[in-house]
Structure 1
Amino acid sequence: MATVANFSAKPITTVIPRLSSAVASTSSFVFFDPKPNSLILKQSWVKTPSKRRFSAVKVKASAASPGKVGTPAAKDEKVQKIHSGEEFDEALKKAKNKLVVVEFATSKSDQSSKIYPFMVELSRTCNDVDFLLVMGDESEKTRELCRREKIEKVPHFSFYKSMEKIHEEEGIGPDQLMGDVLYYGDSHSAVVQLHGRADVEKLIDENRTGGKLIVLDVGLKHCGPCVKVYPTVLKLSRSMSESVVFARMNGDENDSCMEFLKDMNVIEVPTFLFIRQGDICGRYVGSGKGELIGEILRYSGVRVTY
């Protein structure tokens, strides 16, 4: 299960978070005194991340097992084996702002053996993500590392950026692992990543003419439903690139993002804002894939019959 920490933005003392659930359709948090929708637009330009296709996970029966430690085999050479806390810290430092996915496993865990091949396949596909493996029962050094990182059950996946833990999961399956990597490893997607109000204004100004609909996916870092629906957002961003611009913002990334959510009266996440020619023309709240696609088509001008 994921550990979801309460978030806060220091300048905004009126935020009351509710913990997200991977089962619920939305995660909620409440703002007092919400303001009406408003956007202040400025002339600017936004850089769109390079496009990269994410292939489906296909695991061969001969894929490596986490029980085999030491020199990495050719089949899992992109997964770095960690043997001490010093190696672990150095790997995180070397990765800088790249996403780092760490699996904590043991040689006696059947679940670890089953999930590890999927991580190997992801490591071959996601060249912009670093994958690490820590065998907790390998030595006293790895046991100490697990104690330091407060690992109680395996397989345990921790996600880091800039040496900071941003997410963690226990006992997940391949689909959840892939979804988490897609959601937190944003540099490989065709979705524009927004980090504050200024980025939103730039994106809107760039698409003020041309007729494209902007779909802004607003979520939180530890929101299960946000992670669940994001692979659909990625697929749509590739298939509808000629008529729709997809963007994403995590409200708890910084104070500017939190202020934007407050101004937009975003109460639940994930919330999708539909923007055309600088105006918010609608919104969809939830993680239903079919409903989301239907709403996007409707606001794109395609007649949808329910």
Structure 2
Amino acid sequence: MATISNFSSNPSSSLSTIHKTNFFFSHFSILPFVSKRKPPATKLRTNRTQFLVTKATAAPGTKKARRDERVQKVHSIEEFDEALRTAKNKLVVVEYAASDSSESSQIYPFMVELSRTCNDVEFLLVMKDESEKTRELCRREKIEQVPHFSFYKSLEKIHEEEGIGPDMLVGDVLYYGDNHSAVVQLHNREDVEKLIDDHKADHKLIVLDVGLKHCGPCVKVYPTVVKLSRQMADNVVFARMNGDENDSCMRFLKDMDVVEVPTFLFIRDGKICGRYVGSGKGELIGEILRYQGVRVTY
């Protein structure tokens, strides 16, 4: 877990529409599928993700029949810059690869499959050893090792990764470019208050995922949040806020006594009824079920 080090030990007053609890809920033994031991905060799995079709496609540099038509091949600095300008505020995922890299060949098929399911994200491929023009591009972008993934929004590089597997790639794409899921994106305190007011009448449980922009555990658990938001849409509202997006978000985290991320706040009828701190998928599901009144026995 990441720690928000600049929080004071005595948080300021709560939101007028939210009554803050001063305790953390522990994990309950009534949930047999929930581990009592929290997973390591920084150990990220690189197994094949279940959010993708894992049938491999052809490696970079080979002929493919329309399978990777959404992955744009970039051959020069000019083409690269134009692709970023055309994408505007969409997330752009760039894979830097090489024809003699087995790691590039292994990860590329998963990017192809991901491109077919995320229509609001643009995907680019740069073959470092294709020509002097692509080598020049890689020098400008300071790419030394491949495969290397860079993430851009509005012409700005917002994140980059090296040596990642399919799980991490999916998590990054969802986390930094999530405009298509049922997770409500919150950008300030006013957004939180409006969401709470909107669901006072229907008494739905709100699960607020609080994280930071560059938090590995936050990225790791987010695909689970997206999946649950689709499966539980009738009864649960899922929302997300990055605490370091702006001052308003950071003040909200401080008011809610959030000192580690990811933290999940459970809100019903305008009140915080509990929280879960951590990135354990099973534990998160168990806590959501518990606040939904579902009792699981052995």
TM range (shorter): 0.7 to 0.9
Q: Are the aligned partners of 2:17 and 2:271 in contact in 1 as well (CA < 8 Å)? A: no
Q: Counterparts of 1:98 and 1:75 in 2: how far apart (Å)?
A: 22
Q: Counterparts of 2:181 and 2:147 in 1: how far apart (Å)?
A: 27
Equivalent in the alignment of 2:271: 279
Q: 1:95 aligns with which of 87, 90, 98?
A: 87
Equivalent in the alignment of 2:218: 226
Q: Counterparts of 2:156 and 2:138 in 1: how far apart (Å)?
A: 16
1:124 equivalenced with 2:116 (yes/no): yes
Report the CA distance between 1:303 and its aligned residue: 2.8
1:137 equivalenced with 2:147 (yes/no): no
Amino acid at match of 1:39: L
Report the CA distance between 1:32 and its aligned residue: 2.0
Q: 1:66 aligns with which of 51, 60, 72?
A: 60
Q: Counterparts of 1:114 and 1:165 in 2: how far apart (Å)?
A: 24
CA displacement, residues 224-261 of structure 1 (integer Å, 9 cap, x when unaligned): 11111111111211121121110001111122111111
Q: Counterparts of 1:60 and 1:274 in 2: how far apart (Å)?
A: 37
Report the CA distance between 1:107 and its aligned residue: 0.8
Which protein, 1 or 2, shows the higher relative CO under an 8 Å CA cutoff with sep ≥ 6?
2
CA displacement, residues 194-229 of structure 1 (integer Å, 9 cap, x when unaligned): 111111011001011211111000011111111111
Q: Counterparts of 2:201 and 2:118 in 1: how far apart (Å)?
A: 34
Amino acid at match of 1:29: I
CA displacement, residues 14-46 of structure 1 (integer Å, 9 cap, x when unaligned): xxxxxxxxxxxx11122125425622449xxxx
Q: 1:197 aligns with which of 189, 193, 199?
A: 189
1:266 equivalenced with 2:258 (yes/no): yes
Q: Are the aligned partners of 1:134 and 1:142 in contact in 2 as well (CA < 8 Å)? A: yes
Report the CA distance between 1:302 and its aligned residue: 2.1
Counterparts of residues 139-158 of structure 1 (less than 5 Å) = 139-158=131-150
Q: Counterparts of 1:236 and 1:119 in 2: how far apart (Å)?
A: 23
Report the CA distance between 1:147 and its aligned residue: 1.3
Report the CA distance between 1:59 and its aligned residue: 4.2
Q: Counterparts of 1:73 and 1:265 in 2: how far apart (Å)?
A: 53
Report the CA distance between 1:73 and its aligned residue: 5.0
Equivalent in the alignment of 1:252: 244
Q: 1:188 aligns with which of 162, 175, 180?
A: 180
What is the TM-score when the length of structure 1 is the normalising length? 0.82
Give 5+ residue unaligned stretches, structure 1.
Answer: 1-25, 43-53
Q: Counterparts of 2:4 and 2:111 in 1: how far apart (Å)?
A: 33
Amino acid at match of 2:152: Y
Q: Counterparts of 1:55 and 1:124 in 2: how far apart (Å)?
A: 15
CA displacement, residues 88-127 of structure 1 (integer Å, 9 cap, x when unaligned): 1111111111111100001110100111111111111111
Q: Are the aligned partners of 2:209 and 2:241 in contact in 1 as well (CA < 8 Å)? A: yes
Q: Counterparts of 1:88 and 1:247 in 2: how far apart (Å)?
A: 33
Q: Are the aligned partners of 1:64 and 1:73 in contact in 2 as well (CA < 8 Å)? A: no
Q: Counterparts of 1:41 and 1:87 in 2: how far apart (Å)?
A: 50
Report the CA distance between 1:67 and its aligned residue: 2.5
Q: 2:11 aligns with which of 35, 48, 61?
A: 35
Q: Counterparts of 1:123 and 1:299 in 2: how far apart (Å)?
A: 35
CA displacement, residues 157-179 of structure 1 (integer Å, 9 cap, x when unaligned): 11111111111111111121112
Equivalent in the alignment of 1:295: 287
Distance 1:115 1:263, change over 3 A: same
Q: CA RMSD of the aligned region, Å?
A: 2.0
Q: Are the aligned partners of 1:215 and 1:273 in contact in 2 as well (CA < 8 Å)? A: yes
SS in 2 for 1:93: helix
Q: Counterparts of 1:37 and 1:128 in 2: how far apart (Å)?
A: 39
Q: Are the aligned partners of 1:216 and 1:247 in contact in 2 as well (CA < 8 Å)? A: yes
SS in 2 for 1:188: coil
The number of aligned residues is 267
Amino acid at match of 1:35: P
1:207 equivalenced with 2:178 (yes/no): no
Report the CA distance between 1:58 and its aligned residue: 2.1
Give 5+ residue unaligned stretches, structure 2.
Answer: 19-48
Q: Counterparts of 1:37 and 1:239 in 2: how far apart (Å)?
A: 35
Amino acid at match of 2:206: I
Amino acid at match of 1:139: S
Report the CA distance between 1:186 and its aligned residue: 0.9
Equivalent in the alignment of 1:51: none
